Amino acid sequence: MLRFHFIPNDDFILVRLEGLVSLDAWRQALGALQTQIAPMPADRLLLDLRGLLGWLGVPERTAVGALMAAHFSRMKKVALLIQKEKITGVVEAEAQRLGLDLKLFADFGEAAAWIVSDGPFFNAA
């Protein structure tokens, strides 16, 4: 089960997720998160994933990327903050393939700077 809590921030929605990862846990957490951020006016989201435990295989990471694209489609940008050794590019590639401007970072300062910048990370084809 994944838990999340909002961290006050004026420039973007900042959420910390914690718990043991599984595809079902991601599905439930992203659905609940989408519901809570729907009324918020901000269109940029930074998810701090450094509190997550466990690893997912490539098929599951691909599915998480698709879930993020589906649940956060209204967001102009989504940044994921995670430990450097956990960045594989699978979630990022799938979310981008489906049209979500999402990027992974190991450094909070870099993630925050990107999320408030005007330019996209990738160009949707």
**Mind listing the domains of the chain with CATH numbers?**
2-116 (3.30.750.24)
- Alpha-carbon distance of 25 to 103, in angstroms, equals 21
Tens of pLDDT along the chain (125 residues)?
899 999 999 999 999 999 999 999 999 999 999 999 999 999 999 999 999 999 999 999 999 999 999 999 999 999 999 999 999 999 999 999 999 999 999 999 999 999 999 865 554 44
- Alpha-carbon distance of 36 to 47, in angstroms, equals 14
Host H or E run for residue 14: strand 13-20
- Alpha-carbon distance of 12 to 70, in angstroms, equals 19
User: Can you give the pTM of this predicted structure?
Assistant: 0.92
Host H or E run for residue 3: strand 2-7
